[in-house]
Amino acid sequence: MAGGSGRELQIVRLFILLPSLRTRELSMSRKILVVGLQVHDAGKTTLCKALIHSFEKVGRKLVPFTPHSGISYWTQFDTFQQSQAKGSLLSNDIIELGAAASSQVPLEVLNPVNRLSGPSLERQIPEEKLVFQEFMAERFTVHDGVSHKNVYYLNGTINLPSLRNMEAFYLMTRRNAEKTYFARKFKDLEEAYSKYFEKATITCYEQIQQEDLIVESFNDAAYPFSRAEDCDTVLCASSNMILRLDAAKYFEAIQIKGKETPTLQLTVPQVYPSSLVKDRALIQPLTAEEIDDPGRERTILKYSNGSRIRLLTYSSIPQSIYAQLHNGPGTWPSSKIDC
């Protein structure tokens, strides 16, 4: 999701969709992949924050990892300025997730690839040309096992000093980056990805792979990086529902589709048959007043037997529910959720 909107109040009790965990399973590293069924505003970041808070409530820390993300120079200028003040190019998603998790890991390591984009008025042009016209800057963060280093690519065809704060941004990259390059055509950007994307995502992932992770994909990408199959739970977010997918079948579908299309280019709709769905939950809309009042009860899930469960925000959820969730198999109204 491009930014937080408070919708975690709707989703935070979605934790009951996850299977009850045995003690042995709790002692192992757990990784959750969150993907989106739509390109924008699916609710991935909101869901990640909700789960971070839910795990924290029972003493488990989830570390967020967003392999690849992006921000808009025009529509997210506040984020651009905020990240610039932090001395790096950061997405709003990782700033929010890092704060939710109180993580001490550098945000660049939690989000090793991030792009700054601008709008292009030319829409009826080849995709490669459109991508390059929208590209303004890209950060790749590589970890050598001791420390992380940032590599920047800037669009060399843009008059940077003519754009607000971009000259200062360029000077920041020269000051804080290991290397700064100018890309003057799409092939330069393509070569940058070929050289740094895998190296950045994997070396940063290796620094946190022993932790319990929540991995957020980019837009509707099905397979955000080459170690995504380490995740044993896959949740799929869309505007009005959350799906829990069969992880093994999901990655198998990606492998099959990957014979036709490079896996990193696959989207969730391309690999999503209904047979993958194990559970689903309807997400109800909230008024602005409800979003601003985190103490109120929410009814957001309707079970297939017609009963409803009152779901509370993470500030007031009964401990008995957590005990059932984390200390052994729980008893719920139904394992299937009717949307």
Q: Is the pLDDT higher at 213 or at 29? A: 213
Whether residues 111 and 169 fall in one domain: yes
Confidence band for 197, pLDDT divided at 50, 70 and 90: very high
Condensed to tens digits (0 to 9), the pLDDT of residues 2-45 reads 444 444 433 344 333 333 333 233 334 389 999 998 888 788 88
Q: Is the pLDDT higher at 324 or at 128? A: 128
The whole-angstrom separation of Cα 254 and Cα 272 is 9
The whole-angstrom separation of Cα 141 and Cα 89 is 10
Whether residues 159 and 120 fall in one domain: yes
Q: Are 130 and 118 in contact (CB under 8 A)?
A: no
Domain boundary residue among 173, 189, 211?
211
As a whole-number percent, the residues of the chain with pLDDT over 70 amount to 74
Whether residues 167 and 189 fall in one domain: yes
Whether residues 102 and 180 fall in one domain: yes
Domain boundary residue among 183, 211, 239?
211
**pLDDT at 316 exceeding the cut of 60:** no
Number of domains in the chain: 2
Whether residues 166 and 45 fall in one domain: no
Residue with tokens 């192992």: 28
- The H or E element containing residue 289 is helix 288-291
Whether residues 178 and 83 fall in one domain: yes
Domain boundary residue among 170, 189, 211?
211
Domain range for residue 287? Answer: 1-62+214-339
Q: Are 74 and 121 in contact (CB under 8 A)?
A: no
Whether residues 184 and 236 fall in one domain: no
Whether residues 244 and 278 fall in one domain: yes
pLDDT at 290: 47
Q: Are 232 and 247 in contact (CB under 8 A)?
A: yes
pLDDT at 296: 39
Beta strands in the chain (DSSP E): 31-36, 63-65, 68-72, 113-117, 135-143, 148-155, 179-183, 213-216, 233-237, 241-245, 277-282, 298-302, 308-311
Condensed to tens digits (0 to 9), the pLDDT of residues 102-126 reads 989 999 999 999 999 988 777 677 8
**pLDDT at 70 exceeding the cut of 80:** yes
Whether residues 24 and 116 fall in one domain: no
Whether residues 121 and 242 fall in one domain: no
Whether residues 31 and 112 fall in one domain: no
